Each structure stands twice: as structure tokens, then as C-alpha cells.
Amino acid sequence: MTRPARNAKLKSARMAAGYHTQQAFAEALGVGVRQVRRWESDNPPWPHPDLQQRLTHLTGQDMEALGFTIPPGRDHPAAQRHYAAVAPPRSAGSHLPAVPSQSTAPMQPASVATDYANVTRSHRSMYWSVAPATLHPAVIAHADLGCALLPETAGQTRRDVAAALAETWLLAGRIEFFDLREPDDAGATLLRALQAAGEADDSLMGSAILAHTAFIPGWAGEHETAAERMVAARTYARRGPASAEFLAWLDAVEAECETRCGNTRTALHLIRHAEDALAAGSEHLTPVWMDWFNPVRLAAFKGHTQLKAGHLPQARATLLNALDRMSATEDKQRTVIYGDLAAVEAAAGQPEEACRYACLALDQLQTTWYATGLDRIREVRRALAPHHHDQCVRDLDDRLYGWATTVSALAR
């Protein structure tokens, strides 16, 4: 027998609305199916404000009737029903709040956009040092605040809040994908980021978000989907206009996707194009929020692709050069480069050197957690399987499966 949904109220409302599968309901809401499973669990989490209206719109019932328990301090369902009754309808597929009438919410002063963006900027800076499990809830809460502020703003203030909200959702999506390895959640979050960028009419932000969505199918080896998303990202970038650094990053993203799909020759061509773009430069400025890319990061992309292409001497030289040029604040990228250097040595038949670099990566992870970095180390350990009796590999296992590392990995 099929196990009944534990939140039977939501399942019944979903079925009555014509969504006979969780997948269909998730697609209508613009979230991952994993999120719907959470809502239909024993203890469903309280949805973000923008999704509450969508849920009630699709099912015709308020949150309480859908089996959700209102957290302390939240609005009563009667207030939600009043808002739904007086607020203008949103466009199909939108997950951002509509602008309400003056009688339903006070209009915020223009300064609220600056205040909101200041917090967004702080979160951007903290990403490089604060543990993802600590930062992510704060970023999500800030996004909730932005969604709540949008209906209380208009004109340029609304566009400015939406721009900062798009960056906030993008940061949340980056944490979910790169730091926590939750691609389904990241996909849903990046969709919200794209909608906020549309509200702000920020084409470059839209391009950056679309390029990040390409990582998800790219890492899964889904070439066609990744390629389509990169076409969209480049289309938005042309409306920017985009700086040389921004266009080089798009090349690097596409190169990473091509590498993951086994097309290393195409990837190396894209990286050469990116290097040429950086060398030529441009008159356009790079957005201040694009702090995740520079020539050293491009070199790291290149070294990884050379590794996957089997060009081991070139990969070693590229990665060592990138390591020497890295700034002291780039801890997460340093973990990835150590992992790739370990992979180079493992492929070259040098297990001791491979283990040395892998242990350096583990040392870095203890300072700044990065799930993508741990993935690299695990790949190296699999490559070292023929040497599992060597003392250096056993020592690596003791580090890799120590209490702290194991608990951290399982917790994430």
C-alpha cells in the first residue's frame, strides 16, 4: 500500500486542485519536488511569504486549512485572506508579491532600499568566511524580508529593493549548490532570484543567475539543458552591457559544464577565449556583486579542465601558478585547487604526493567548510583505490574519516 501523506490536508487540497503528483504541484509553484515533500511531511516548515500566496492561490485555501502551523508572531490566516482579497493578482508563474493598495500596507521611504542593500552587501562579504550552515538561514531570512518589503515600495525604490533581493536569492542559491550540495533547492531558489532580477529589470544580474542555473544540469552531465541555459545567460549579458570580466566568467562557466559533460576540447577553447577577453579588456565595469571571479579563478577552471583532459604536466603547472597567485581570503577556492593537485598526482601515479595535497585540502576545510572541496577529495580517494594498502592512503583515510570531518559531511 502507498504510504499516506502525513500532511493529509495539503495532499487533499493539492489533489482537489488537479495536481495529482508532487512533481506537478512543484512545477506549478516553481519549487523543487523535495520542498513539496517537506510540506507534506509530519511537521511541514512554514513557507516563505512569497510562496504562501501562491499556495493559497493554487488550492483556494488558507495556510491553516493546508495543514501548516503558524509560527509565533506570524500573521493570522484572516489577515492573509484579507491580503489575497485586496491585492492585485500577479502575473502567471510569478513568485514575487504584487504591489498592494495603499489601504493594505504602508509605503516605505526610499531609504529602505539602501538599508536593505547594505545587509545584502554584508552577507556577500561574509560568504567567504562564515560557515554556510550559519550564514544560509540569515540569508533566507533576509530574502523573506525583501519579499515582505516589495509590496510596500514603488517606482525606483521597488526596483532597488528587487535588485538587492535578486542578489540575496542568488547568494542563497550559491550556498545551496556549492556549499551544501543541495541542487534541487538551489534550482528553486535561483528561479526566485531570476524573478526578482526581472522585477528590477537588471539584465546582468539575470545573466549571472541563468549561468548559475546552468551549473546544475552541467554537473549532472545534462549537456543540452546546460547549453540552453548558457544561451539564455549570454542573451541577457548582451543587454547589459557586460564587462570583459563578466564575459570571461560566462566562458568559464560554460567550460566547466562542457568539462563535466566530457567535452574537454570545447572547454579548453572556451577558456582560451576567456583569457583573450580578459587580456583585451573593455570599457564596461564589472558589477560590484560579481566577487566570485578573477584571472586566478579562471586559471583554476583551466587547471581542472586540463586535468580532466589528461594533460597532467600542464594541469600541474597551471594549478600551482594559480595557488601562488591566490589572495589570503580565497580559502574555498584554495581547497578546490589542493583537491585538483591531488587528483593530478593520483593520475600521475604519485600516491604520496596526492595524499599530501588531499591532506592540505582537509586542513583548509577545517577552517572554511566547502562541500565542493570535499567532493574533490573524495574523487581523489576513489582514484587512489589501487593504493589502499599504502601507509599514506591509510593516513589520508584517518583524516578523511575522522570524527569532525565525518560528522560535518553527514550533517550537510
For 244-289, the pLDDT digits (tens) are 999 999 999 999 999 999 999 999 999 999 999 999 998 999 999 9
Bigger pLDDT: 274 vs 72: 274
Q: For residue range 351-397, what is the model confidence (pLDDT) as tens digits?
A: 999 999 999 999 999 888 888 999 999 999 999 999 999 999 999 99
Residue among 251, 215, 213, 259 at smallest CA distance from 234: 251
For residue 118, being part of any structural domain is answered with no
The confidence band for 70, taking pLDDT boundaries of 50, 70 and 90, is confident
- Residue 317 is predicted with a pLDDT of 98
Examine residue 57 and state whether it is found in any structural domain, yes or no. Answer: yes
Write out pLDDT tens, residues 313-332: 999 999 999 999 999 888 99
Q: What is the pLDDT of residue 42?
A: 84
> Average pLDDT in the 171-179 region?
96
Computed over every residue of the chain, the mean pLDDT equals 87
> Residue 207 has what pLDDT?
97
Reported confidence tier of residue 290, pLDDT bands at 50, 70, 90: very high
3-state secondary structure of 393: helix
Residue pLDDT, tens place only, 132-149 = 999 999 999 999 999 999
Q: What is the pLDDT of residue 32?
A: 87
* Cα gap 193→177, rounded to integer Å: 14
Can you list the pairs that 275-284 forms with residues at least 24 positions away whose Cβ atoms lie under 8 Å?
Answer: 275/248, 275/302, 277/244, 277/247, 277/248, 277/251, 278/244, 278/245, 278/248, 280/244, 281/244, 282/243, 282/244, 282/247, 284/240, 284/241, 284/242, 284/243, 284/244, 284/246
60 in a structural domain = yes
Number of domains making up the chain: 1
User: Closest by alpha carbon to 327, among 302, 297, 369, 365?
Assistant: 297
**17-56 pLDDT tens trace:** 778 888 888 888 888 888 999 999 888 998 988 788 888 8
What share of the chain in percent tops pLDDT 70? 88
Confidence of residue 226 (pLDDT cuts 50, 70, 90): very high
Whether 101 shows a pLDDT value over 90: the answer reads no
Asked if residues 273 and 242 have their Cβ atoms less than 8 Å apart, the reply is no
Q: Is residue 381 part of a domain?
A: no
> Is residue 299 very low, low, confident or very high in pLDDT (cuts 50, 70, 90)?
very high
The verdict on residue 98 lying in a domain is: no
Give mean pLDDT, residues 187-211: 95
Say if CB 298 and CB 275 are below 8 A apart.
Answer: yes
Q: What is the pLDDT of residue 265?
A: 97
The residue with greater pLDDT, 3 or 38, is 38
Give the three cell numbers for residue 4.
499516506
**Residue 43 belongs to a domain:** yes
Domain coverage including residue 29: 8-72
On whether the CB atoms of residues 253 and 245 are closer than 8 A, the answer is: no
Query: Is 162 within the bounds of a domain?
Result: no
What is the pLDDT at residue 84? 33
